[in-house]
């Protein structure tokens, strides 16, 4: 099969170079997507105050409950497309794309409505301070109202990445990030719309990205072109749900667990909650590095399993682990060294700055554990073992964390002791996933 200049057939060629070439645009896309959160937080923190900053940060934790579910389903879409591309089954690929787009539109509307309906439930779960709760509710209602844009963009990006195109989603995201910045300044700093302005700026940017991506799929002459009239592929839906539903449930359940953990952070007051938001922005630089490598790895494994090149898929896992751990280690050192100046971007509250510095100093280096876990969970999902991965992720990121918090808060209840629940969960899940991977020899030729 002849590939276009935008795509990448990862079933042949130098593994390390392909993974890096694929991951860099994904990382840059994640970086610009992070800019949504950073710009919202910086503008809100400086123009409105710590209460609003805490509200936006807490709201984003809650959105991951619903957004995380669809992102899991979207991963199933990526694997289905990557396998069809690896098999060179173009008719199957075309039907899968048509099915996936319609499915994402339906789920985007449904999940958005669910988000609006359950906003108050989320806020009560987090035990958000009274002065922050109304602001969080406002942000969430607006955000969920435009959720279909984010879901459609993520779906189409997954389709393009599955065929090896990680550059064009980046171009659209750069455009929408710049637009988000301009709208943030306009709505918050000029029009003084407060938290509502930050939410409107975010969803407007997401919707525009989605429309641009959809236009690309409609106008392309490639076999994965989207046409409104097409065949619904029930086999593709079953495969998507087999991989995506367990992953989506795992992401949502973990997000609920994070909401409960965050309620422990809220116990220490608004300044501590705002500091956790700042730390989360810093740590997300490392998280998106892992996600970028995992995106490349998932596509690589999916294509090579489709082509029945098991040894190559296994070699790619070793290369991914080395690349991921190396980059995260370097970035962790830089973030720890720059934690003071970075924290001051979000405001000058002395208590917030002190909490943020401690979180970064002691928790950022432990992101290496997350890197290890991320590489091997990507293997399980690429192999279609999402259900097993879900069990292990829930075991570590939900059960182990909650047991730890129940014990530690009765012994040493400090912001840092609560924050350690995150790396503990990664360690437990990562260990179980790796043992399963080795025992089942997932990438050995059947």
199-256 pLDDT, tens digit each? 888 888 888 888 888 888 888 877 778 888 777 878 888 888 887 787 777 777 767 6
Within 10 angstroms of residue 280's Cβ, the number of other Cβ atoms is 18
Q: Residues 147-171: what's their mean pLDDT?
A: 82
> What tokens appear for 359 in the block?
């979180």
Cβ atoms 377, 433 nearer than 8 A: yes
Question: How high is the mean pLDDT of the chain?
Answer: 82
Higher confidence at residue 21 or residue 56?
21
Residue 11, classified by CB atoms within 10 Å of its CB into exposed (0-12), middle (13-18) or buried (19+), is buried
94-123 pLDDT, tens digit each? 888 888 888 888 888 888 888 888 888 877
Alpha helices in 383-420 (DSSP H): 386-394, 401-408, 415-419
Nearest to 284 by CA among 342, 344, 348: 342
pLDDT band at 368 (very low <50, low <70, confident <90, very high): very high
Burial of 232-245, coded b for 16+ CB within 10 Å and e otherwise, reads: ebeebbebbeebbb
pLDDT band at 2 (very low <50, low <70, confident <90, very high): very low
- What's the chain's length in residues? 446
> What tokens appear for 50 in the block?
């710590």
Within 10 angstroms of residue 433's Cβ, the number of other Cβ atoms is 27
Q: What is the DSSP string of 251-287?
A: HHHHHHHHHHHHHHHHTT-HHHHHHHHHHHHHHHHHH
- Listed in sequence order, the residues at least 6 apart from 423 whose beta carbon sits closer than 8 Å to its beta carbon are 363, 366, 367, 369, 370
- Listed in sequence order, the residues at least 6 apart from 404 whose beta carbon sits closer than 8 Å to its beta carbon are 420, 421, 424
């Amino acid at each position: 099969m002849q590939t276009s200049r935008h795509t990448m057939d990862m079933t042949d060629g130098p593994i390390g170079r392909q993974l890096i070439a694929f991951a860099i645009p994904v990382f840059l896309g994640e970086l610009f997507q992070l800019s949504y959160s950073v710009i919202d937080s910086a503008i809100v923190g400086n123009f409105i105050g710590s209460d609003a900053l805490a509200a936006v940060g807490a709201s984003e934790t809650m959105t991951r409950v619903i957004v995380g579910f669809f992102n899991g389903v979207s991963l199933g879409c990526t694997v289905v497309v990557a396998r069809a591309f690896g098999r060179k089954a173009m008719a199957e690929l075309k039907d899968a794309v048509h099915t996936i787009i319609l499915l994402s539109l339906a789920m985007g509307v449904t999940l958005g409505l669910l988000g609006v309906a359950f906003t108050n439930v989320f806020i009560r779960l987090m035990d958000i301070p009274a002065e922050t709760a109304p602001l969080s509710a406002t942000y969430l209602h607006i955000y969920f109202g435009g959720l279909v844009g984010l879901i459609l963009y993520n779906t189409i990006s997954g389709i393009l990445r599955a065929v090896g195109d990680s550059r064009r989603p980046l171009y659209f995201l750069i455009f929408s990030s710049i637009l988000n910045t301009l709208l943030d300044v306009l709505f918050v700093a000029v029009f003084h719309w407060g938290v509502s302005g930050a939410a409107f700026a975010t969803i407007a940017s997401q919707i525009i990205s989605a429309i641009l991506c959809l236009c690309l799929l409609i106008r392309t002459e490639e076999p994965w072109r989207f046409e409104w009239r097409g065949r619904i592929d029930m086999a593709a839906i079953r495969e998507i749900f087999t991989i995506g539903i367990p992953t989506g449930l795992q992401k949502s359940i973990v997000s609920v667990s994070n909401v409960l953990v965050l309620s422990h952070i809220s116990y220490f007051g608004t300044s501590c909650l705002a500091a956790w938001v700042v730390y989360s922005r810093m740590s997300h630089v490392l998280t998106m590095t892992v996600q970028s490598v995992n995106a490349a790895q998932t596509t690589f494994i999916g294509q090579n399993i489709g082509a029945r090149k098991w040894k190559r898929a296994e070699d790619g896992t070793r290369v991914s682990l080395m690349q991921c751990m190396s980059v995260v280690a370097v970035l962790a050192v830089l973030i720890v060294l720059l934690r003071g100046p970075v924290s001051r971007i979000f405001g000058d509250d002395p208590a917030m700055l002190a909490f943020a510095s401690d979180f970064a100093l002691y928790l950022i280096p432990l992101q290496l554990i997350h890197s290890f876990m991320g590489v091997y969970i990507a293997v399980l999902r690429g192999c279609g073992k999402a259900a097993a991965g879900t069990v292990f992720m829930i075991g570590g990121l939900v059960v182990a964390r909650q047991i730890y918090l129940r014990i530690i808060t009765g012994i040493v209840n400090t912001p840092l002791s609560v924050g350690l629940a995150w790396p503990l969960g990664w360690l437990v899940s990562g260990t179980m996933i790796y043992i399963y991977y080795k025992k089942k020899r997932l990438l050995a030729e059947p």
